[in-house]
Amino acid sequence: MGYELRVVRESPLAFAELAKAIAPAGFELRASDEIVTGHAGGTYQVGRWDGQVVGEPGSDWQVAQLLRLSAALGARLVGEDGEVYTLRDGVMEVESGGGVTELGKFEEAIDAGPAAWTP
């Protein structure tokens, strides 16, 4: 199990609401708990439903997709340690401990696809 990011809203998200909201944003449910989307003819998991939307990104593409999913659900993307992932002027950022770190350009991450981070 990797580092988890959670899609968090003020009001709890019901599964039926998730199912209704994700399709227009380009996501779909598979096996009733996997949230997937396509890239270059393939289908890749972005997150899963576990009473809330949870993702364990292994690439910038997955972080970008989770940000896109969060926006579609009117939610925030929050890490295990309370940091908040945002999109500002086309740049993915993480806010933690009063500081902001740029992760990269959103469109570049989407275009790059789900290639895994290398150690």
Position 111 pLDDT exceeds 60: yes
Per-residue pLDDT of 33-66, as tens digits, reads 999 999 999 999 999 999 899 999 999 999 999 9
- As given in the structure block, the two tokens for residue 76 are 């925030």
Nearest to 28 by CA among 43, 14, 40, 42: 43
Sequence-distant (6+) residues with CB within 8 A of 20 are none
Confidence of residue 117 (pLDDT cuts 50, 70, 90): confident
Domain boundaries, the chain: 5-112
Q: HEC profile for the chain? A: CCCCEEEECCCCCCHHHHHHHHHHHCCEEECCCEEEEEECCEEEEEEEECCCEEECCCCHHHHHHHHHHHHHCCCEEEECCCCEEEEECCEEEEEECCEEEEEEEHHHHHHHCCCCCCC
- pLDDT, position 59: 92
Position 81 pLDDT exceeds 80: yes
| Mean pLDDT score, 93-119 | 89
Confidence of residue 15 (pLDDT cuts 50, 70, 90): confident
Confidence of residue 116 (pLDDT cuts 50, 70, 90): confident
Separation CA 91–CA 67 (nearest Å): 11
Minimum mean pLDDT among 2-6, 56-60, 89-93: which range?
2-6
Position 28 pLDDT exceeds 90: yes
